[in-house]
Structure 1
Amino acid sequence: MPAHLAEEINSPLPPENSLDWWSDALLVYRWGSLLLAVGAYFFVPALSSAEAAWLLGIPAVSLLITARHREWLSLLQRVPLLLAGEIGLAVILLWTTGDGVSPYFFYALTPLFTAPFIRAGRWSGLLFAGLYGGLVWFAGRSGLPPRWPLVAGQIGTAWLLLFLVGKLAAGLQHFQQSAGQLHTAWQNVSRQYRILTTDYNQLNAIHEMTLVLQGLSNPQTVQEKLLKTVVDDLHFRRAVLGLVNPGQTEIDRWRQYPAAERQPSGASFSLSLTAQSSPLARILETRHTQWTETGQLLPEEHPLQNWLGAGQWLVLPLVHAGELLGCLLVEAEHHTSASAGEWVALTALVSQGAAALSAINRTRRLAVEQERNRIARDIHDTVAQSLFGLVFSLDACVKLLPHQAETVKKELLEIRNLAEYTRREVRQSILDIWPSELNRQKFMADLQKYVDSVAQGHGFNVEFSIDTRFDTLPSLIRRSLYRICQEALSNAARYAQTDLARVYLYIEPHKVSLSIRDKGCGFDPRLVLSRHQDRERFGLRGIIERVETLRGECQILSQPGRGTQIVVEIPLEPDRREKK
């Protein structure tokens, strides 16, 4: 939501009470009209006793009403008869200070101006006219000279002003009603805005979490990111996450956020997943979310019991495709302390975290399987073949003894050379499991060293042209390129009958291109790849399979007598930089 709209929604819009507003205006009017009346007496040479009494009493009454003017108007609203008393007092004030010419006329209208705001406008006007006219009539009957034209004018003026104030009161009350409706609507909009903001923040947290998890390759990093999101973005008090040990039926690697003073480690903090071991294990076996307390999760003597401390915990198994990957414990005061949206977001985060952990496990298993296949190919092509030759030669020697000792001696020398060669092959296979910190310089140096060991001293050279941006490639691609070059150069050194090969590697915006070329004897690729038992075929097939796993393309270009070129193209992601 735009910031300016958020400010408008969050700005307060309380409706004002029209009676409160009018009470302040009426207070100003009361004192203004009183000062006008008091000022008029400065021009009167002598005051009657009644006028003197009113001159002292009216300001005292006004001061009393001023001190509690809001409470006075609220009281009039609850007890309208008090307004009748105030009107009667105003009529007596007018009559005793000179009916028709009283300087208190405007002051006496004060209770009439209050009447419309307490829904007493009509009867207050009639009461004022009746009392005022009655007193004047009574005075006429008593022999006092009445001033009917002036009195009638005052009564008419009072009704006119009462009519105008009534219209003003109706307008203000309508405005107050509209303002109240607007305020209610504002409260509803604000409440919906807060709900939508919370939902947006939660969805944004899930989205960011999903994007981050897609790029993670370490379970511990996934663990830390999931814990921080649960506490910082979803505002739960504390979160604890343990991961299933793939090699054993137990959960270990427990982590807590906010971080505890001492993170658990070692076997003492591992939790067996057998149902009989603990209530937590039985909950995880059901694969269902459940609320419980610390004392009901673990046996009293378990170290995790003291580490977690007392609290209410929500147990959330991390499950993907039926596989249990971990256990998330979320602490909250009660299951009603979080909104429904927060629970939905928490469930989604757990699902994303489980998917990320499952993907990491699958990637690791695939990498292990691929490395096993490579090692198996190397053993089959080198060590197994050599050992078979050793066994076959030793059997022949046994048959030749004791009659052909000289022949056996020569054969044993050959067997010793073969055993030494096999030893070097085994050692090279161990070293080739993976070179550490493979950068551009080590890439070229290790390949040359490998080729030298394969060529067995007959002088095979490699010319390299490697892009200087090699170190920016992802480690998986660097590793695969190394293996591809290793296999291709090994074939060239052993079978190409040449002493030179060239390796070109160039990085483009969306792909990396690799070319390994020699001018040796060449071969027919279709014939070699169709053989069932051939080391060269096995190595070429390994190159093709390795490129296909990276969604790349591989071309093997060769003809007998015209050399060989292997061309590989591997696509790159938009950001090919190594993720630390």
Structure 2
Amino acid sequence: DEIGQLSTAFNRMTSELDSAQRAMLRRHRELAALNAVANAVNAPAPLAETLERSLRALLDTLDLPAGWIFLLDGEQIQLTTWLGMPLEIGRREVATALHGCPCTIALTDKQSVVVVPLPERCPMREGKLNDAREIASHVTVPILARDHVLGVLGIASADTHTFSADEVNLLEAVGQQLGIAVENARLWDDLREKERVRGQLLEKVIVAQEEERKRIARELHDDTGQAITSLMVGLRAASDTSEPATRTRLDTLRDIAAQTLESVKHMARELRPALLDDLGLAAALERYVAGYRANFGLTVDLQMTGFHSNGRLSSEVELALYRIIQEALTNIAKHARAHNVSIVVERKACAVVGIVEDDGRGFDVRAILESAQDESKLGLHGMRERAELVGGRLQIESSPGAGSSVFVEIPI
């Protein structure tokens, strides 16, 4: 009859509405779980902390009691995160993970595994949850990145129900999120290690260069300089006892030798100024700037504060500052077409600051640094690397037509 048909239709509609509501709640829970894990993964933190926060967020959102994360390290599997169960169960899981455990399929075949009921060889049978309930079922999904297995994510339950396909799909999506986090963390670790090794190698190269500079400068000063001086003395003696015509030629040769001696001394100072080792940064820079003014005809203002009332800086910091300022002045002489240069070096309580400015034609800093051909970038990178090797930072500011400035700060 009509009432019966209406009742049947109403019951069907009620059932469909109830199913739709359950599906909506399930979908909402899945999205909440994915969002919680995404927030944990995207937060800046070490990998172990990221994995623990991700697992905790997943368990809290899905209202599940326990879970774990294993990561592969070569051929070995390592327990990384373990929540809701005694650690000893995890250690037994590691011991059996590659020896017949059903969860091995997640590692070898990249397939999720739902284990219910627990087989006799499953380590989960031998332990309980932290709340004393027994583990009745668990699911293990692979942690993947670019189709490579990096580990497994496992979730345990005290209920004997089989995890649904939707729940497994959700956990697989979480496994992919974790895979991206693990891969990114390892890439960053590799990059940091490469940077550390590169820094060590660069430091060794710079130390070797400075030692070689010192050796060559010493040989130029002691051996070559003395040889030229002896030659000049001999030419002078020969000139005093020679005929006028020969004396003129000998005096010319003596003048050439004197010029060569000055060039040798200049080369020795450029390679490694003795003043830097003997008297420190202030004296070495004052001497260098005086020669720079004479050689290039520029107006150079040098101001150094905080050096006379304090002890010397470490040799590494003095050398780094000297070379950075030297390179900056060399670049100005080569490229800037400047008339005036200002150098300020200030020693503060915790750092020493150096600023080199010029009124030259300027340049596009980014274009130079990104150029594959321009050799100028090597000098700019070299200054920055010298600063970083002693824990400092270097900033270069310039634009076409507006001069340039080099700022360096090194902690002391």
Which TM bucket (shorter chain)? 0.5 to 0.7
Change (3 A) 1:362 1:264: farther
Structure 2 counterparts to residues 58-457 of structure 1, below 5 A: 174-175=2-3, 177-245=5-73, 249-258=75-84, 260=85, 271=94, 283-292=106-115, 293=118, 296=121, 311-332=136-157, 337-380=162-205, 382-389=206-213
* Structure 2: distance between partners of 1:373 and 1:305: 49
Describe the shift of the 1:389–1:454 C-alpha distance in structure 2 as closer, same or farther (beyond 3 A): same
- Aligned equivalent of 1:536, options 368, 372, 379: 379
Q: Helix, strand or coil: the match of 1:240?
A: strand
**Inter-CA distance 269–341: structure 2 relative to 1 (3 Å threshold):** closer
Aligned partner of residue 193 in structure 1, secondary structure: helix
**Structure 1 residues 276, 220: closer, same or farther in 2, change over 3 A?**
same
Aligned residue in 1 for 2:344: 500
Q: 1:555 to 1:270 in 2, by over 3 A?
A: farther
Letter of the 1:352 partner, please give it: Q
Structure 1 distance, partners of 2:275, 2:89, is: 49
Deviation of residue 253 (structure 1)?
4.4
Contact 1:295 1:310 in 2 (8 A): no
Closer, same or farther: CA 275–184 of 1 in aligned 2, 3 Å: closer
Distance 1:345 1:193 in 2: 19
Looking at structure 2, the residues matched to 316 and 192 of structure 1 have their Cα atoms a distance apart, in angstroms, of 28
Answer yes or no: is the 8 Å Cα contact 1:522–1:564 preserved in 2. Answer: yes
Contact 1:290–1:314 at 8 Å: present in 2 too? yes
Deviation at 1:181, TM superposition (A): 2.6
TM-superposed deviation, 1:194: 1.0
CA distance in 2, matches of 1:220, 1:205: 19
Query: Given that residues 318 and 350 in structure 1 are in contact (C-alpha distance below 8 angstroms), is that contact kept between their aligned partners in structure 2?
Result: yes
Q: 1:491 — aligned with what?
A: 324
The question of whether the paired residues in 1 share the 8 Å contact of 2:363 and 2:404 is answered with no
Larger fraction in strand: 2
CA contact (8 A) 2:135 2:158 kept: no
Letter in 2 for 1:189: L
Q: Distance in 1 between matches of 2:216 and 2:60?
A: 69
Note closer, same or farther for the CA distance 1:189–1:261 as it changes in structure 2 (3 Å cut).
same
Q: Which amino acid aligns with 1:251?
A: I
CA deviation vs aligned residue, 1:386-406 (integer Å, no higher than 9, x gap): 133356579999x99xx9xxx
Percent of aligned positions that are identical = 12
Counterpart for residue 405 of structure 2: 565
Counterpart of 2:256 in structure 1 is none
What does the per-residue CA deviation read over 1:237-270, in whole Å, with 9 as the maximum and x for residues that have no partner? 421112344xx54333433222x455899xx789
The 2-side partners of 1:243 and 1:455 are apart by 58
| Partners of 1:271 and 1:420 in 2: CA distance | 64
Name the counterpart of 2:356: 518
Q: 1:386 to 1:330 in 2, by over 3 A?
A: same
- Say if 2:40 and 2:54, in contact at 8 Å, map to a contact too: no
Q: Distance in 2 between matches of 1:180 and 1:262?
A: 54
Three-state SS of the structure 2 residue aligned to 1:519 is: strand
> Alpha-carbon deviation of 1:193?
1.2
Supply the distance in 1 between the matched residues of 2:17 and 2:377 (Cα, whole angstroms).
76
* Partners of 1:395 and 1:558 in 2: CA distance: 43
CA displacement, residues 448-480 of structure 1 (integer Å, 9 cap, x when unaligned): xxxx98997866469xxxxxxxxxxxxxxxxxx
Distance 1:533 1:179, change over 3 A: closer
SS of equivalent to 2:163: coil
Distance of 1:394 and 1:363 partners within structure 2 = 44
Displacement of 1:495 in angstroms is: 3.7
More relative contact order, 1 or 2 (CA 8 Å, 6+ apart): 2
Give, in angstroms, the shift of residue 558 of structure 1: 7.4
Please say if residues 249 and 272 of structure 1, whose CA atoms lie closer than 8 Å, have aligned partners that are also in contact: no
Letter in 2 for 1:215: A
Which residue in 1 is equivalent to 2:389?
A: none
Q: Please list every run of 5 or more consecutive structure 1 residues that lacks an aligned counterpart in the other structure.
A: 1-172, 404-413, 423-451, 463-486, 503-515, 544-552, 568-580
The letter of the residue matching 2:109 is T
**Contact kept? 2:359, 2:403, Cα under 8 Å:** yes
Q: Which amino acid aligns with 1:198?
A: R
- Runs of 5+ unmatched residues, structure 2: 228-268, 287-302, 307-319, 330-340, 347-353, 387-394, 408-412
Task: Check whether the contact 2:364–2:399 (CA below 8 A) recurs between aligned residues.
Answer: no
The Cα of 1:500 is off from its aligned counterpart by 1.4
* In 1, Cα distance between equivalents of 2:138 and 2:9: 43
Q: Deviations over 1:438-457 (max 9, x none)?
A: xxxxxxxxxxxxxx989978
SS at match of 1:252: strand
Question: Displacement of 1:179 after TM fit?
Answer: 3.3
> 2 CA distance for matches of 1:456 and 1:368?
36
Instruction: Give a deviation string over 1:340-380, Cα, whole Å, max 9, x none.
Output: 32222111111112112222222333344345445544544
Alpha-carbon contact 2:79-2:94 (below 8 Å) kept = no
Amino acid at match of 1:538: H
- Cα distance, 1:318 vs structure 2: 0.9
> Which residue identity does 2:404 align to in structure 1?
T
- Relative to 1, partners in 2 of residues 1:270 and 1:261: Cα closer, same or farther, differing over 3 Å? closer
Let me know the Cα RMSD of the aligned residues: 5.6
Contact 1:294 1:311 in 2 (8 A): no
1:465-522 superposed Cα distances (whole Å, 9 cap, x missing partner): xxxxxxxxxxxxxxxxxxxxxx9997347643743179xxxxxxxxxxxxx9633586
CA distance, structure 1, for counterparts of residue 400 and residue 283 of structure 2: 21
Equivalent residue number for residue 247 of structure 2: none
Structure 2 distance, partners of 1:277, 1:365, is: 33
